[in-house]
Amino acid sequence: MFCNYIILFLHTFERSLKIMEKQSDLIKNSSANQLTDLFGMNHEKVLICQDKDSGLKAIIAIHSTTCGPALGGTRMWKYASDMDALKDVLRLSRGMSYKNAISGLNLGGGKAVIIGDSKTQKSANLFRAFGDFIESLNGDYITSEDVGISPDDMIHVAKQTKHVTGLPGKKGDPSPITAFGVYMGMKAAAKSQFGNDSLHGKKIAVQGVGHVGEYLVEYLHKEGAKITLTDINDSLLSKVSKRFNCNIVNPDEIYDVDMDIYAPCALGATVNDSTIPRMNCSIIAGAANNQLENENIHGSVLMNKGVLYAPDYLINAGGVMNCYAELHDFSNEKVMQMAENIYQTTADIINHSKNNNIPTFLAANQKAEERLKMESSK
């Protein structure tokens, strides 16, 4: 019954996981309802990857190649369970399809997760094994770095496959462009909520000051925003706060601070039943993916509260634009112009939301699905 929902590719390498013959714990421990919910997102391909020699355990999900090869980053995270990893990669890959479609890029959507601790379990052999799995997809999936992955890690992947972007010496780390796009989307949301797009004096709570978060803080600092930060990495938090003269709070306290804008820039699902009642903000606009734990429920709750949510996959599209530019050899100026256009796209989605009295996430989904439908009919 499982194969009604997912296509598993069994490769000839010894490192392949022979799931069809001896079902993995991921499948055996999952209920039929769980699988139905997950695979109702209509993914084209899902690849379970395992290499015992290097310790690689990963999942690659290709949601759609309707607009072109599926592009999306690889993140490395110590998930609580294999099912959590699967849920994450399926949601993230669908988000990439929508992100690339709404951004007008000729790319499909995909994503990969490597299950493990990025601080202690990385190795050249692990990333080369991962590159072999990417190569086996024959160009259907192109990867880049994401949470827990660096451009240097991608060098090892690129030794096994050419389907990699974000390499040192090319466009490199997409984080600065991602942050600029988030900044543009935040300003568009401010224009709608406050009457002008200035962030000077606005109280902004930034959750997560990793690659993208730190660059975003720099943009906000330059505009004169009043910034409060949190992160689970105390040393990084201290460094960024001192550099930009920001306030610091503990991770769980970020939802309770006095803020005009909440900017989640770490992992997703931080906008949920327990946090929404605590947040006193007018706008949610950040770099994290899948910020709404349940978009159908929490998107509507935010709209009813008068909180403007800038759809995450729309405003954090700068990174994928950077990767797209690398594939097509665009100039840096061209990439920045593409990211700047996120401002107008965000404004258009907000207007579509208001005109149709629907949550902004749904307005964005509709526009993305229109593009996918148009491309599939060609």
Which CATH number is 270's domain given?
3.40.50.720
What digits encode the pLDDT tens for the residues 67-114? 999 999 999 999 999 999 998 999 899 999 999 999 999 999 999 999
- Is 185 within a domain? yes
Could you give phi then psi for residue 263, rounded to 5 degrees?
Answer: -120, 90
Q: Identify whether 111 is a catalytic site residue.
A: yes
- Is 102 within a domain? no
Cβ neighbours of 42 (radius 10 Å): 10
Domain span at residue 292? 175-317+343-370
Whether residues 224 and 192 fall in one domain: yes
- Is 98 within a domain? no
- Is 328 within a domain? no
Q: Which of 37-46, 71-80, 137-146, 263-272 has the lowest mean pLDDT?
A: 37-46
Whether residues 224 and 352 fall in one domain: yes
- Is 375 within a domain? no
Whether residues 229 and 262 fall in one domain: yes
What digits encode the pLDDT tens for the residues 119-167? 999 999 999 999 999 999 999 999 998 889 988 999 999 999 999 998 8
Instruction: For residue 5, give every residue at least 6 positions away whose Cβ sits within 8 Å of its Cβ, in sequence order, or none.
Output: 35, 36, 38, 39, 40
- Is 308 within a domain? yes
| Domain containing residue 8: CATH number | 3.40.50.10860
Grade residue 36 by pLDDT with cuts at 50, 70 and 90.
low
User: Looking at the whole model, is its pTM more than 0.75?
Assistant: yes
Whether residues 212 and 64 fall in one domain: no
- Catalytic pick among 57, 99, 111, 187: 111
- Is 201 within a domain? yes
Burial of 32 (0-12, 13-18, 19+ CB in 10 A): exposed
Helix axis angle, 211-223 relative to 175-194, nearest 10°? 50
Please give the tally of structural domains in the chain: 2
Whether residues 140 and 242 fall in one domain: no
Strand partners, 108: 70
